[in-house]
Structure 1
Amino acid sequence: MSKAMMEMVKQHTECDDQLNRCEVALHKGDMASAGRNFRLFSEELDLHFGLEENKLFPAFEKATGMTSGPTVVMRGEHAEIRSLRDEAYAAIEANQAEVALAAIDTLNVLIQQHNVKEENVLYPMCGGSIPNLDAVLGFGSTCCGSCS
Structure 2
Amino acid sequence: MIISHYMKNEHRECDTYFAEAEQAAASGDWEKAEEQFIAFSNETLTHFKKEEEELFPAFEAQTGSSEGPTQVMRFEHEQVRGLIGKLAEALEAQDKDAYLSLCESMMILLQQHNMKEEQMLYAMCDRVLPPEIKESTLEKMKKVEY
Instruction: Show the 5 A alignment for 1:1-148.
Output: 2-131=1-130, 132=132, 133-138=134-139
Contact 1:51 1:137 in 2 (8 A): no
Could you tell me which runs of 5 or more consecutive residues in structure 1 were left unpaired when the two chains were aligned: 141-148
Query: Which stretches of structure 1, 4 residues or more, deviate above 3 A after TM superposition?
Result: none
> Which of the pair is proportionally richer in helix?
2
Q: Which amino acid aligns with 2:135?
A: D
Cα deviation per residue 1:73-120 (whole Å; 9 max; x = unaligned)?
A: 000000001101110111001111110111011001100000000000
Give the alignment's Cα RMSD to 1 decimal. 1.4
Note if contact 2:76-2:113 (Cα within 8 Å) is conserved in structure 1.
yes
Give the residue type in structure 2 aligned to 1:114: H
Deviations 1:36-77 (A, max 9, x none): 100000000011000000000000000001111110000000
Q: Percent identity?
A: 39
* Rg larger for: 1
Matched letter for residue 19 of structure 1: F
Q: Number of residue pairs matched?
A: 139
Q: 1:29 aligns to what SS in structure 2?
A: coil
Summarize deviations over 1:10-51 as a string: whole Å, max 9, x none: 000000000000011011101111011000000000110000
Letter in structure 1 aligned against 2:30: M
The C-alpha deviation readout for 1:122-148, integer Å capped at 9, x for no partner, is 0011111112213212179xxxxxxxx
Q: TM-score, normalised by structure 1?
A: 0.90
**Bigger relative CO (Cα 8 Å, ≥ 6 apart):** 2
Supply the AA of the counterpart residue of 2:103: I
| TM-score computed with the length of structure 2 as normaliser | 0.91
